[in-house]
Amino acid sequence: QSVLTQPPSASGTPGQRVTISCSGSSSNIGSHIVNWYQQIPGTAPKLLIYTNDKRPSGVPDRFSGSKSGTSASLAISGLQSEDESDYYCAAWDDSLNGPVFGGGTRLTVL
């Protein structure tokens, strides 16, 4: 059972906009920023969004992040087939004194 809660799956058709939620508590998302990672199965994760809503160089602006209270969300607009991946949210947790991840969301592009 992960500390941060994500839906296990999400899907959309090419061109659509999809959102992935990440729910936490006051000890993690409520007190700290949220980062998002993209992982193509069989490869290492890649930082996708940092500090809630910032994109590293090279990440398309189709990807956006937001945070409110103890929840965060990742939005992908103009969905493309190459967006099919696993997505993880993460935040520091003061109670556990370390970073915690969501359980991951597998995105399928139909």
Partner 1 sequence: EVQLVESGGGLVQPGGSLRLSCAASGFRFSSFWMHWVRQSPGKGLEWVSLIYTGGTTTLYADSVKGRFTISRDNAKNTLYLQMNSLRAEDTAVYYCARSGGGTDSGFDSWGPGTLVRVSS
Question: Which parts of this chain interact with partner 1 (CB under 8 A)?
Answer: 2, 32-33, 35, 37, 39, 43-47, 50-51, 56, 88, 90, 92, 96-104
- Residue 18 or 90 with smaller CB distance to partner 1: 90
In angstroms, give the least distance from the CB of 10 to partner 1: 15
- Residue 8 or 17 with smaller CB distance to partner 1: 8
Q: What ranges make up the beta strands (E) of the chain?
A: 9-12, 18-23, 35-39, 46-49, 63-68, 71-76, 86-93, 98-101, 105-109
Give the integer Cα–Cα distance in Å for 39 and 15.
21
- Residue 63 or 92 with smaller CB distance to partner 1: 92
| Three-state secondary structure call for residue 75 | strand
